[in-house]
Amino acid sequence: MAEKHKPAPMVDEVSDFEILEVAVRELAIEKGLFSADDHRRWTEYMNTLGPAPAAHLVAKAWLDPEFKKLAVEDGVKASLEVGIDWINSMPTNFGTPSDYCNLRVLEDTPKLKHVVVCTLCSCYPRPILGQSPEWYRTPNYRRRLVRWPRQVLAEFGLQLPADVEIRVEDSNQKSRFVVLPVRPEGTEGWSEDQLAEIATRDCLIGVALPKPGVTANAKLPVHPAVNPVDHDH
């Protein structure tokens, strides 16, 4: 890759992005396009999101074959059982504008491994999985995963034998996707909460496989924010 485009952060100076963001938000409110309360409510809604519901959906599917069947057939209906109503639980009552209401749960088998990308933008099941990681949004991941999936997965530490079919899901329209990995060995007798802990975000995107003892995503460098939001998501 060519020289990295990363100017030194100017902490003593407000950025043009920060100024424009304030300007756009204030103008939209002054013109009555939305209210300050609308913006606050959506911010609060965003702050409730994260990968926990999707992890529990996977854990439930591992424990209950009937629920697994429902999850694969109707992801939106199955989401209700982990507290996510794709249509009515956000401020709109018609779903979020950008995520729509068509969750599809991709069931892995010992011979089939799914991994998700959105080559055209960065479509991601936010209502059930939170905000996407930065690497998922990069042109690099989007360019390469569809064509060199085994190389990209290897960079995330996942090497699969040739007799396992890798299926890349290019999420390009109104469906959103969560991977349902194979339940790993060594988890016999585990509770839903225990199982949910190893169904990490990376496993649900498909760049990692769940493993007893591994409850965190791949350890990657974190690019710090100049003015970070003060909550986790």
Partner 1 sequence: MSKPHYDREHHVKKATGIGDPQCFKGEAGPAKFKVGDKVRVKDLPDIFYNRTQVYTRGAPATVAELVYESPPAEDEAWDNCDNPEWFYSLIFKQTDLWPDYSDTFANDTLETELPERWLEPM
Partner 2 sequence: MPSPVRQKVMQHLNIVGLLQPALHKETHAPYPDEVDNAHYRAYTRMSHDVGGEPDVPIQWEEKEEEVWEHNTFVTCEVLAWRGVWNAEERRRRQNVDVGQTQYLGLPYYGRWLLTAARILVDKQYVTISELSNKIDEVKKRYE
Stretch that binds partner 1, among 19-27, 99-107, 132-140, 194-202 (CB under 8 A): 99-107
Is 203 part of the annotated catalytic residue set?
no
User: Which of 79, 101, 122, 203 is the catalytic position?
Assistant: 122
Is 89 part of the annotated catalytic residue set?
no
- Is residue 125 a contact residue for partner 1 (CB under 8 A)? no
Q: Which of 100, 124, 141, 156 binds partner 1 (CB under 8 A)?
A: 100
* CA–CA dist 225, 67 (Å, integer): 40
Q: Which of 87, 142, 160, 192 binds partner 2 (CB under 8 A)?
A: 142
Please write down the long-range contacts of 35-42, taking CB distance under 8 Å and 24 or more positions apart. Answer: 38/91, 41/91, 42/91
Q: Please state the closest distance from residue 131 (CB atom) to partner 2, in A.
A: 7
Binding mask 48-87 for partner 1 (x = CB under 8 A): ----------------------------x---------xx
Stretch that binds partner 2, among 19-27, 48-56, 75-83, 185-193 (CB under 8 A): 19-27
Q: Count of residues for the chain?
A: 233
- Is residue 194 a contact residue for partner 2 (CB under 8 A)? no
* CA–CA dist 67, 167 (Å, integer): 23
- Is residue 167 a contact residue for partner 2 (CB under 8 A)? no
- Is residue 43 a contact residue for partner 1 (CB under 8 A)? no
Token pair recorded at residue 81: 């059982």
Q: Which of 131, 132, 175, 187 binds partner 1 (CB under 8 A)?
A: 175
* CA–CA dist 82, 99 (Å, integer): 18
* CA–CA dist 18, 31 (Å, integer): 20
Token pair recorded at residue 222: 């974190």
| Non-local CB neighbours of 145 within 8 Å, separated by 6+ positions | 115, 117, 119, 152, 168
On whether the CB atoms of residues 153 and 207 are closer than 8 A, the answer is yes
Query: Other CB atoms closer than 10 Å to residue 88's CB: what's the count?
Result: 11
* CA–CA dist 226, 51 (Å, integer): 25
* Positions marked catalytic: 118, 121-123
Residues lying near partner 2 in the complex (CB under 8 A) are found at 1, 5, 14-15, 17-28, 31, 33-34, 38-39, 42-43, 46, 91-92, 96-98, 100, 117, 119-122, 131, 133-135, 137-144, 146-147, 151, 155-156, 170, 217-218, 220-229
Residues lying near partner 1 in the complex (CB under 8 A) are found at 76, 86-88, 92-95, 100-102, 104, 119-120, 146-147, 149-150, 162-175
